[in-house]
A = this chain, B = another copy of it.
Amino acid sequence: MESYIQTLGIRAKDASRLCAKLGTEAKNRGLLAVAGELRSQSAYLLEENEKDLKAAKEKGVKQSLIDRLRLTEQRISDMAEGLTQVAALEDPIGEVLSMKNRPNGLRVGKKRVPLGVVGIIYESRPNVTADAFGLCFKTGNAVILRGGSDAIHSNLAVTKVIKGGLEKENLPQDAILLVEDTSRATVGEMMKLHQYIDVLIPRGGAGLIANVVENSTVPVIETGTGNCHIFVDASADIGRAAEIIENAKTQRMGVCNACESLVIHAAAAEEALPLIAERLNAHQVEIRGDERAREILPGIVPATEEDWGTEYLDAVISVKIVDSLEEAIAHINRYNTGHSESILTKDYDNALKFQDEVDAAAVYVNASTRFTDGFEFGFGAEIGISTQKLHARGPMGLEALTSTKYIIFGNGQIRK
C-alpha cells in the first residue's frame, strides 16, 4: 500500500511524461490560461488567504511573517504577470546542444530535456506556488510543492485556480501537485522519494535548507544563504566605494545578495572607513569592526569570530582590515557561503586575481553585490540562487530546470 506522498510521487511521474511531450505552443497556452484564471479568481484567492492571515494573527505570528503571507490584488496581478512573462521566454526544451559524427558513422547528439519531477519545499510566501509552477511547466516538468502550514489555505486556493486554468486548455492537471498534509512527516517522506522526484529545491531560511541538505536522498540544489563581502582595495575610488557599499548593504537588507561584511585594505582604510560609516549611519546600520577598524572608528562595536561567519539579513555589517589582496581573498574564502563577492579597485591585476581566486557563484569587479539575480542577469526569471557547484551555480533560470539526453542515430553499428 502506497503512502500519501508515494501516491503523489507516482502521479507526478506520470504527469511529467505528459508534460515532457507538450510543445511550446501548448505550454504557453497553459501559462496564459492560468494567468487569466488567477486574475479572474482574485476574490476567491483573497478570501482563502484571509483564513491563513486570521490563523496567523491568532497564533501571534510576527508582523513581518504576516506581511509575507498576505495576498493582495497587486500580488495576485504580479503572479499572473510573472506567468505571462514566462510564456514569453524562449523554450529551452528540445534544443540540440551538439551533434557529432563518430568515425563508425554514429551520430551522437546531446539534447535538452526536462528534469522530470521537481520538488519544492518552501515557507510562507504563497506567490512561490504560482512562480514555481510557471517555471517548471514551461520546462516540461511536473512539480510537487510542499509549502508551510501557515499558508495552506492560500496554497490550496492558488493550486486549485492553476488546475482550473490547465483544465480549460485540456492540459495535465497533475503538472502541479500540492502536498496537502503539512505535517513534518510529509517533508521527511518527500526527501526520501528519489524514486519519483528528480531534484529537490528548498526555498527558505538557513534551517530549512540545512534540514533538506542533511536528510534528502533526492538530489538537492542548495539555495540562498549569502554571507557576501565587498573588498575595498588600496587603489579603490573611495567616493565610488562608499556609494557601492551603501547600495549593497542598504538597498534591501533582508536579501541573500546584500553585503554583510567589508574587507578593507589598510592603505585605504583611514580615508575610506569614515566615509563609508557616514553613508551607513544614515541608514542606522551597526558597524562591527576588528581592532584596526576600531582605531579608525572608535565608536563601533568589536567584531567577534562569530561575526565573520554571520549572514545578518539586518542593519549590521562587519569590517576587517587586511594588509594585502591575498589576505582578503583568504579571509573571504574562509568565511563566505559561495554566493556573491565584490572587489572595488583600479588595479587591473588585482581585479583579475580576485575574480580568479575567490570561490563564489558570482564575483564582481567595481559593482554592488545586489545584482546577483536572474532578472538582473537577463534570464527573465529565477527559481532561486544556487550556492552549490553541481548542476547550477548562481541565479537559476529556465535552463537550471532542464537535463540533457544523448540521442544516437545509427544504421546497424555494433561495437568491435
A residues apposed to B, CB below 8 Å: 17, 20-21, 100, 102, 106, 108, 115-116, 194, 198-199, 213-214, 217, 219-221, 237, 240, 243-244, 246-248, 251, 333, 355-357, 359-368, 370-372, 376-378, 388-391, 393-395, 403-415
Contact A364 B116 (CB under 8 A): no
Interface of A is mostly: mixed
Nearest CB of chain B from residue A172's CB, rounded to whole Å: 15
The residue on B at minimum CB distance from A389 is B403
Q: A378-B108, A390-B219, A403-B389 are in contact. Are A371 and B409 (CB under 8 A)?
A: no
Known contacts A106-B367, A356-B21, A410-B367; A393/B404 CB under 8 A: yes
CB-CB under 8 A from A367, the residues of chain B are 106, 408-414
Closest 3 CB pairs of A and B: A367-B410, A247-B414, A389-B403
Distance of A186 from chain B, by nearest CB (Å): 19
Residues of B within 8 A of A356 (CB): 21
Do B100 and A408 touch (CB < 8 A)? no
CA distance A408 to B376 in the complex (A): 12
Whether B102 pairs with A377 at a CB distance below 8 angstroms is: yes
A365 & B409 in contact (Cβ 8 Å cutoff):
yes
Residues of chain B lying within 8 A (CB to CB) of residue A366: 409-413
| Closest residue on chain B to residue A373 by CB atoms | B415
The reply to whether A364 and B21 contact each other, CB–CB distance below 8 Å, is: no
Are A199 and B102 touching (Cβ within 8 A)? no
Complex CA distance for A237 and B370, rounded to whole angstroms: 60
B333 touches A247 (CB 8 A): no
A363-B412 contact in complex given A17-B357, A194-B213, C-beta closer than 8 Å:
no
Bound complex: CA of A410 vs CA of B357, how far in Å? 18
